Structure 1
């Protein structure tokens, strides 16, 4: 049996409630002979945010209206024939691809076909009742989603951003510590896999941030709590850290290339110690994201990192390499670190790491 999160379980319960209430209203209050459209509409509009429920409700009602209106128009003017049905379905399929209808676009040909088969497309009462039931069902679905613990996704995005920043920092510290000691192919492979994994996880974190931002729209619980998460700052943080993982991945790939050529001299320990100190200082700069004066404090740290990179460049120029063929690898390491610093500096003013409280 699949395991449901608390949010998923709540959404299942609310969808069930909305469906049952909509069926009761259509059957007992409206006296519908086929109380089908209201519960279906209610079921389909309960979504992860109030804004999505409202949008889904509007799109579904519009799709039903377009499908039935098209069937009525063709049915009353041309009558029901095999060729007129072809005209209706062709037009409905084209309308259903309208991007603003989204997933509800499939309802246009479905409702057009249903209208033709049950009422020949000419029964105005059937068309009106069906659209009214759909409208009522959509309103019930939205009302249930709003009134019964309106979904407010604020804590989960904050936790994911905080966890992501911790993981990126841990990777930088791990690579820095490794370069100061013993490292080899297994270490490089592990660092590269971790960097690639973090890079791939970033879009999921960004999607969760947008879900949190969206969940506050039209949400009465948000009006009650008056929460003000720094959504833009969280996005800047994840964007900056994602680019950082890309540069770390490039750096460890360069180290791996060196290992693939055992006859070529490896970078000196002094040079690797310098690269390690750069990574450690960059990781420490994450602590200043979002604090008062972040641009100045992060900038100050990165100024020091750039001075260290200048020292490494001077060391590289003044110290002859045992193997001149190793020049590209040294340059690649410096280049990745330089790009890493530049990317973090570009987001320093807006990036925010959520507080732990």
Structure 2
């Protein structure tokens, strides 16, 4: 039954995702590396400032270093600049309030409101907390003399330099995997959706099946947005990062593949939306006859093979272009026979079949472009 095949498809996708999480520990490995780097940066900062120099404000160095091992070198630099500014402003606010009031409680009441407001400024992001916490430390330990302020800023600067240096020079993060994983997921899910649609049409389909196809197509749109986010993340990871020169890596797939899969997802959403309108008691379009369903089954099955070939091409050094080409020929042949059925239909059925023919034609044109040519003029 259709619902059983749908459950099997959903379970297969879930099982594949869990299997990848267990066997491909890429993101977890990256997180572990960054965590160890942050801990190492903090230990190094303490060893230099606290153990060797015996600085009076040695806590500032590891406190600053540990949070500046960010997910990209660019973010480390940006966070470092923000953090130093906020530590300086928090220190000055606390010192100014203490000199005006001469009382710790009164100084806190005077310094913390502007410090918290400053910390909540959106441009400072997560680093905003350093303004009020620095003011609290300064007032709690009465360390607001000129010498103490100079030590605090100097040790924060040392910690920032150590944190940024460790992130940039020790296995600097270069986020390439996210783009490939998102592209692979889009290709896999597109092929699976097409295959499920083809299988369901062999025995007819109901409105529940059509709505499930439509929801699957809409999820592809969400995956396209995830791919765009991953692409921006990858570009950011290259900024100010020596990692793409110091470490061997494979360049991310070209941007044309993003446009290609975005087009496929959009065409599938339109096609499945039309199929929803042809199913159920309150359908808006006539149900396609069995002969049309047979042709759609052949067309969608061949389209699924094209998506599977495109997925294999992501990692294959020499993709099998012949298999993809043969699948495209079969898809176009089925589409030609589908259009040939239009004169045999009554007006209402011809409207529905014509709509499906138009939607599948747009899908095949999108597939014909290929992942490396989409978006080019």
- TM-score, normalised relative to structure 2: 0.71
Give yes or no for the alignment of 1:144 onto 2:170: no
Give yes or no for the alignment of 1:14 onto 2:60: no
Distance 1:199 1:22, change over 3 A: same
Residues 72-111 of structure 1: matches in 2 within 5 Å? 72-77=95-100, 79-80=102-103, 84-111=107-134
- Note if contact 1:42-1:140 (Cα within 8 Å) is conserved in structure 2: yes
Could you list the per-position Cα deviations for residues 164-206 of structure 1 after superposition, in whole angstroms to 9, with x for gaps in the alignment?
2232133224323543x11334754653453344333333333
Q: Which residue of 1 aligns with 2:227?
A: 205
Residues 287-302 of structure 1: matches in 2 within 5 Å? none
The separation in 1 between residues aligned to 2:88 and 2:370, in whole angstroms, is 47
Q: Which residue of 1 aligns with 2:292?
A: 271
Unaligned 5+ segments in structure 1 are 292-296, 353-357
The separation in 2 between residues aligned to 1:146 and 1:163, in whole angstroms, is 30
Residues 133-212 of structure 1: matches in 2 within 5 Å? 133-179=155-201, 181-185=202-206, 187-188=209-210, 191-212=213-234
Shift of 1:107: 1.1
The DSSP-based 3-state class of the residue aligned with 2:141 is: helix
The separation in 2 between residues aligned to 1:49 and 1:95, in whole angstroms, is 25
Residues 25-64 of structure 1: matches in 2 within 5 Å? 25-64=48-87
Q: Which residue of 2 aligns with 1:319?
A: 345
The DSSP-based 3-state class of the residue aligned with 1:125 is: helix
- Note if contact 1:18-1:144 (Cα within 8 Å) is conserved in structure 2: yes
The separation in 1 between residues aligned to 2:254 and 2:151, in whole angstroms, is 43
The separation in 1 between residues aligned to 2:344 and 2:335, in whole angstroms, is 15
The separation in 2 between residues aligned to 1:346 and 1:128, in whole angstroms, is 63
Give yes or no for the alignment of 1:243 onto 2:269: no
- Note if contact 1:206-1:238 (Cα within 8 Å) is conserved in structure 2: no
Shift of 1:313: 7.1
- Note if contact 2:104-2:140 (Cα within 8 Å) is conserved in structure 1: no
From 241, 247, 252, give the equivalent of 1:219.
241
The separation in 2 between residues aligned to 1:158 and 1:173, in whole angstroms, is 22
RMSD after superposition: 4.1
Shift of 1:207: 2.7
Unaligned 5+ segments in structure 2 are 1-20, 319-323
- Note if contact 1:171-1:195 (Cα within 8 Å) is conserved in structure 2: yes
Distance 1:75 1:161, change over 3 A: same
The DSSP-based 3-state class of the residue aligned with 1:259 is: coil
Distance 1:154 1:97, change over 3 A: same
The separation in 1 between residues aligned to 2:78 and 2:374, in whole angstroms, is 31
Give the aligned length.
Answer: 335
- Note if contact 1:278-1:308 (Cα within 8 Å) is conserved in structure 2: yes
Q: Which residue of 2 aligns with 1:113?
A: 136
Q: Which residue of 2 aligns with 1:294?
A: none
- Note if contact 1:49-1:152 (Cα within 8 Å) is conserved in structure 2: yes
Shift of 1:20: 1.0
The separation in 2 between residues aligned to 1:86 and 1:29, in whole angstroms, is 37
